[in-house]
Amino acid sequence: MPLIDRDDCALVIIDVQTDFYPPQRLDVDRQRFQDMVGRIAWITSVADRLEIPVVVTEEDPAASGHTVPEIRETLPAEAVTLPKNAFAVWDNPDIATAIEATGRTTTILVGIETDICVAHSAIQLHHAGKRVVVVDDAAYSPGPAHERGLRRLAGRGIETLSTKELFYDWMRTIEAADAFHDTHADLTLPPGVRL
C-alpha cells in the first residue's frame, strides 16, 4: 500500500465517551485509557489544522455519555457527531452517509473498543472498498482484548500504525513537518509520542 495521502483521509473517532467505562469496571487501565484520549485529541487537532474531515460516533449516549471533553474541545467546527447503534460504523446509515459525504476514500479509525467496534468498523469499511487504517496506540480495549483486536485486523489485511507514523505519513517531508511544528507550536505532544 502507498503512504497515506492526507488529502484523501477522513478521521473517525469511535465511542470515546465519558461513561463508557464506569468506575466499577476494574479491568480498565485508566492511565492507558487517558493516554489514548490524549493521543486522539492531538490527532484531532492535527486533522483540524490539515483540514481533514472528522466524524465522531457515540454508542448509546443516554447510557454511556457523550464524547470526552478533551476530544470534544479539539473537534473542528465542521465535525459531525452521530449516535451509533450497530457496532460497525458502516452499518449505521447516518454515519455511513457522513463518511461518504467527506468524499474521502481512506478512513483513519481511532477509539474504543479495539476488538469490537473498531474491528467491526474496520472490517465493514474495508469490505465496502475503503482503505482503512487503525491507529493502534489511539485505540483501546481492556486487558488482552486490545491485542486480540489488532491480531484480528492483521488477519484481515487491515493496516495499523502508530500516532507518530500517521503524522509523518501526513507530513511526508522534513520541511513540511518543521513548518507544521513552527506554525502550530501550541500543540503539545501527547503521552508516548516523540517526533
pLDDT, one tens digit per residue, over 113-130 is 999 999 999 999 999 999
Which residues on adjacent β-strands are paired with residue 131? Answer: 106
AA identity, residue 154: A
Q: Residue 97 CA to chain centroid, in angstroms?
A: 18
- Distance CA(60)–CA(148), nearest Å, equals 24
Which secondary structure element, helix H or strand E, spans residue 37, and what is its range? helix 30-49
Q: Residue 109 CA to chain centroid, in angstroms?
A: 4
Q: Give the pLDDT of residue 85.
A: 96
> Quick one: which of 12, 2, 6 has its CA closest to 134?
12
- Distance CA(90)–CA(93), nearest Å, equals 7
Residue 63 grid coordinates: 447510557
- Distance CA(18)–CA(134), nearest Å, equals 22
Could you count the other beta carbons within 10 Å of the beta carbon of residue 16? 26
- Which regions of the chain are under pLDDT 50? none
Q: Give the pLDDT of residue 51.
A: 98
Could you count the other beta carbons within 10 Å of the beta carbon of residue 100? 14
Q: Give the pLDDT of residue 195.
A: 87
Coil vs helix vs strand at 14: strand
